[in-house]
Chains A and B, each alone.
Chain A
């Protein structure tokens, strides 16, 4: 019987003498602990395509009536019911997306890689901007630091955030201006936006600097204009626009396109927008607006819903691979026009405005501005140029980006009438604080009232 006891004990030992198995089993076969600068840059860029090309821009377009909420969740947004749960994904997309990816890129590869650093800084500046424009006070100085143990970042005032954006962009420009030899690794194909073209990045950084200078038009009308013009002096028409890039391949689709496929009829074109394009005989109409069921172009007023016969967004904004604008030459010219006008230089304002409209038509239609439209709409003079005209045309030019909503809040143009069936009969002025921030961040500045304006919106 000793044999038996012995053999049982041996059997038991054989199966348990596997201490090295513990090491083997502890290795994660699914996910890496490190990622290269190239992997992090492409992730930072693609996550920016998601934040600029996604829900935040779409909700903004419903609020400024470029589109109308027709069904389901968007029908509800169209009644100005936007809850703290509705925007959790948008908030998360910014901070858990480009902000943490950009910060990780800077932390791990910043030393000795000024180009990667500069690109990360531009992308982070853009996304901090998207956050502060919709939420006001947001985390900036302590954002994205969970790995150093900060799970409850403090909120910075919008003024601090915008100063921070300017300073990030200054650093980016300095970094991107370094010689190539200063870099250990050089961005190439992993830079989906500009394929490593640093001059294009620097150009885009100046446009974004001008955008955030001009954003303070109600805080410091003259100073903001002077600063914006100084930034724009570095911007060249020869540099490519900064766009969110998409491909006609599932998972790489333009997000307006995918939204119209996956959430068909949730939104339709807005009546105000379509009527405005029609009333100005705008050549961009068939590019920005798809044909409706009757073969024409139509949009819904904010009060109307569940009418699938109206037009969808058109091929220039919602084809599988159409780019979504992030920072364009046309926008730069509109900012210039507005800034010049604010400084009383109507002549320069008119010139910039005319150039802006032409650039936009070229960008959207792919051909030069038709003479008739140029005559009717892009021939402003010092005597005729107005802020309303500038902003209305910017509203058309930047459809599919969040800028028209920012401009409407800042200037009150275009003159929209809020949904008359909504509780407040007024267009919301911000997003509420994300439910997750309210619940999990005791340092959060919680604002649930979507009619409380942000700091720059006086």
Chain B
């Protein structure tokens, strides 16, 4: 049997369209010209289907050629989506909200990170990149955060196998602070996947959609399906190349009038005869302050634009080659992807090489086997960020205009800077490299036995294993070493991770009558997690620029490991009635090693969802083409982290917060203590996310308008929490089930097919979502608690009655009408206690995509709007204090802070600019509330113009496109691009900006060839 599959609209071929013999697994795909060939038994019925078209069944009879023209289905009425555990279901039957995106959404975004590529693509998804530096992590939260201190990100599943998406920050066993606040921006491990390998993405936003994943799906799940091979004549080859040019898109406004110094007197660092800063012969250490004289007043001084001199235009190259082929027995796809990104910070880059083979074969009519294997090598050179005297932005933005940073080393190669105790940003970029080298293998194999429509059995086992070897160097004379001694340091950190996942799934269907049937699923699942982290460090290096532990006079090592095993049995029943009423119930019982075995280690997670396509019964023959209501309830979970059912001793680092403290071995003596240990709880339970959601999907005017609205109310109970305790109890925290949290929200997705002619089309897609998060309770007697250790003056808190993660810091004293109360020295008075000063999560998110297509030309523009989302701008506060901001150049005057005195009369006390910018607008005693800004933005996240040239000879097509990311950004935020996060995806702190590396704007040219 042969034939050609085309579109009904313009008879163009439909490469890749599916042909299946009804009632069997036998099937094939059309080749590049739309031709197919398949052997079929007599009397068979062929089913022709493809994404975006209405599928069609044809009785073969005795024909040997069947050509079909499939009708376009722009709203994808029969859209098949991948749901939990890889089950493919028609979208119309689903009783819960899912978002389904095609893989080109990721590639078109120009983002190398399959997480960041989801930003502003659908409703109810909050993506936050940590910075614009190559390889930096992106954090994704669906709807709103479901838990306090545990994992808040969804489960990431690729081809049915969950993969590791951790963001691991290197930290030695004796490092006492939150390592997320400094160091480098690490990668989230999903970054290892090549967006060009992704065929589609399904986002399971709520617990109803993800309940079958049990205790790992309390935050929802994102299911990536990779591209597969197809049967066709010859081998199809696609090649594409992208060139990307990036530049910094936003920096704070700095003054260039006043020089380095204090009290109007100029001073700068002078290392003395040894040409090395920070030593006893220093003539002057300099100052970080720019309260010196006017640059114009001193002929020996001139102003430099250091940020402009420092940042560069970054060039990135992406190359992808894929080969696909097969026949009706077997198919394959091999792909190779290479990404090389340069950073806007000198000497930073990120390289990723991926190679992937996917193959499937029909061994008999009933037996299909297949598998995927991929090898990934990724990593790069990263720059120091955040609260870190070797941080690039810390030293760069603080650098006085009077100091030219470009001359960054003395002739002897030592750090040259304006202040002895910071590294010159050039010096740290070139001399203190952090490198990571990730080698990762992901693979899965499956065997599928299809006996009949009543019995279909699949066993799948997948492995995701990687090693991550990191090296951090602090050159001799760099201040970045742990003790700021400038003696040089080298850290090695070797992380290995292995996730193994296996499941056995039985599926089938049974029809009770023509109208009424059931699909059933039952299965078993096993998963293990093994991670090790070996850290070693050498300090006091002898030979410059030689990095090996042998070169160190002081050695330290620490190691850690974490393991988890879970098994589960699960089942699902999907009833359908009269092609309009659908009921689905699921259940999963799960066992995990992270519970105390002798008490109870297994728990059950149920869900139920109902949907009714009412247009099958009512409102027929109206402008409403399609209408469906849905309702779902589910419980999914979040499991405890390992080793929290008991209390352990730890190797202490006694510190007061200012130094790295005292550690063991101490003068050769060892010690163990409960210092900074967490009290365990034997009878831990999983935390449960109980979600109720309802939705309405309607399509009007022959599917020209598609509206989907979801409302949800998700409550997390028994929250597993590393709950801070009063240290007078002897412990700083205990791990227990306590607290409740609620997320309520609305998600609206509207698609308008405004114009559709054979030559021209205009589509508008609009997504809008709002989430309201509220902490309902914490634990007995506690109404406020810290989520994670942060800076002394500012933290992220859970407060009863407020949204999770509110910024928490010092506040001004105010009278009833909100005016500041000014003290005798002319400065406002601080409140004695800290409190909530801003919600870091947005009020709402919206995005609009307009797509215009004229013949082969497509113009698409994605506008991304965010309202609200407080950010603590610690950078700007410090820059005010040290006199670097443009505002602080207005200093030839006094200031009177608006407010009232203690007696209620208006304040008239004039203060110096130093007090005004330092202690009121700056962080020398200024209230933290003063530094909180809303991270509103309006950005043109994506604009692209692409053209497909179809050719006949040698080549099928040529794709050309020109696009830009963040071409336009409008924001009230005073510092860098407000899409920023100091703590990255590995942390639950949100809205922290303290000398974060900046974001970027980029221009991308790409060319693709299809053979």
Contact = CB atoms under 8 A, between A and B. Distances in A.
B671 A42 contact: yes
B834 A84 contact: yes
Contact of B654 (A18, A46, A153, A441): A46
Contacts of A422: 825
Contacts of A143: 728-730
Most buried by A among B421, B484, B674, B729: B729
Nearest to B459: A8
Contact of A39 (B654, B670, B728): B670
Interface in B466-516: 482-485, 502, 504
Interface in A54-97: 54-56, 58, 71-73, 75-76, 79, 81, 83-86, 88-97
Interface residues of B, number: 116
Nearest to B649: A35
B673 A35 contact: yes
Contacts of A309: 284
B726 A101 contact: no
B785 A138 contact: no
A383 interface: no
A447 B734 CA distance: 25
Nearest to A256: B659
B660 interface: yes
Given A1-B449, A43-B652, A439-B782, A104 B674 contact: yes
Given A255-B662, A258-B659, A440 B730 contact: no
A85 B502 contact: no
Interface string A249-290: 111110100110111111000000000000000000000000
B732 A145 contact: no
Contacts of B591: 22
B785 A249 contact: no
Given A84-B833, A152-B781, A101 B659 contact: no
Given A50-B654, A151-B734, A250-B482, A264 B673 contact: no
A258 B278 CA distance: 14
A367 interface: no
Interface string B632-663: 00000000001101111110111111111111
B783 interface: yes
Most buried by A among B288, B679, B725, B783: B725
B675 A101 contact: yes
A29 B558 CA distance: 12
Given A46-B666, A83-B830, A263-B658, A16 B727 contact: no
B669 A261 contact: no
Given A26-B593, A432-B832, A153 B565 contact: no
A247 B666 CA distance: 8
Contacts of B283: 293
A153 B728 contact: yes
Most buried by B among A75, A79, A192, A308: A308
B67 interface: no
Contacts of A93: 654-656
B7 to A, nearest CB: 39
B667 A146 contact: no
Given A5-B457, A259-B658, A12 B502 contact: yes
A161 to B, nearest CB: 12
A138 B729 CA distance: 11
Contacts of A250: 482-483, 485, 539-540, 554, 556, 660
Nearest to A8: B459
Interface in B581-610: 591, 593-594, 596-597, 601
B654 to A, nearest CB: 4
Given A76-B924, A435-B834, A439-B783, A306 B287 contact: yes
A333 interface: no
A314 B451 CA distance: 86
A90 B459 CA distance: 56
Contacts of B239: none
B635 to A, nearest CB: 23
Interface in A141-166: 143-147, 150-153
Interface string B275-318: 00010001111111101000000000000000000000000000
Contacts of B623: none
A380 to B, nearest CB: 37
Given A96-B675, A96-B676, A100-B674, A47 B654 contact: yes
Contacts of B539: 250
A179 interface: no
Given A21-B565, A25-B563, A189 B669 contact: yes
Interface in B819-836: 823-825, 827, 829-830, 832-834
Contact of A306 (B289, B560, B671, B782): B289
Interface in B789-817: 792-793, 795, 809-810
A43 B457 contact: no
A422 to B, nearest CB: 7
Contacts of B832: 83-84, 432, 448-449
A266 B484 CA distance: 14
A444 interface: yes
B439 interface: no
Nearest to A105: B673
A170 interface: no
B906 interface: no
A138 B727 CA distance: 11
B577 interface: no
Nearest to A50: B654
A31 B731 contact: no
Contacts of B661: 50, 54, 251, 255
B728 A43 contact: no
Nearest to B289: A306
Interface string B906-936: 0000000000000100001100000000000
A50 B662 contact: yes
B675 A252 contact: no
B919 A79 contact: yes
Interface in A12-35: 12, 15-16, 18, 21-23, 25-26, 28-35
B924 A75 contact: yes
A76 B927 CA distance: 12
Given A50-B662, A84-B834, A293 B284 contact: yes
A371 interface: no
B174 interface: yes
A26 B597 CA distance: 8
Contacts of B734: 146, 151
A360 interface: no
B129 to A, nearest CB: 29
Given A12-B502, A39-B670, A83 B827 contact: no
A33 B648 contact: yes
B524 interface: yes
Contact of B657 (A22, A89, A150): A89
A139 B781 CA distance: 17
B565 A18 contact: yes
Given A11-B459, A146-B734, A436-B727, 8 more contacts: A33-B649, A42-B664, A43-B675, A47-B654, A245-B667, A252-B667, A263-B658, A293-B283
30 contacts: A4-B449, A5-B449, A8-B449, A16-B502, A21-B528, A26-B594, A28-B643, A31-B677, A33-B648, A46-B671, A47-B662, A50-B662, A54-B661, A76-B925, A85-B795, A95-B727, A95-B729, A95-B730, A101-B675, A104-B673, A146-B725, A189-B668, A245-B667, A250-B554, A251-B556, A251-B653, A259-B659, A308-B284, A439-B724, A444-B728
Interface of A: 1, 4-5, 8-9, 11-12, 15-16, 18, 21-23, 25-26, 28-35, 39-40, 42-44, 46-47, 49-50, 54-56, 58, 71-73, 75-76, 79, 81, 83-86, 88-97, 99-101, 103-104, 138-139, 143-147, 150-153, 189-190, 192, 245, 247, 249-253, 255, 258-259, 261-266, 293, 306-309, 421-423, 425, 432, 434-442, 444, 448-449
> 3 closest A-B pairs (Cβ-Cβ)?
A448-B832, A100-B730, A144-B730
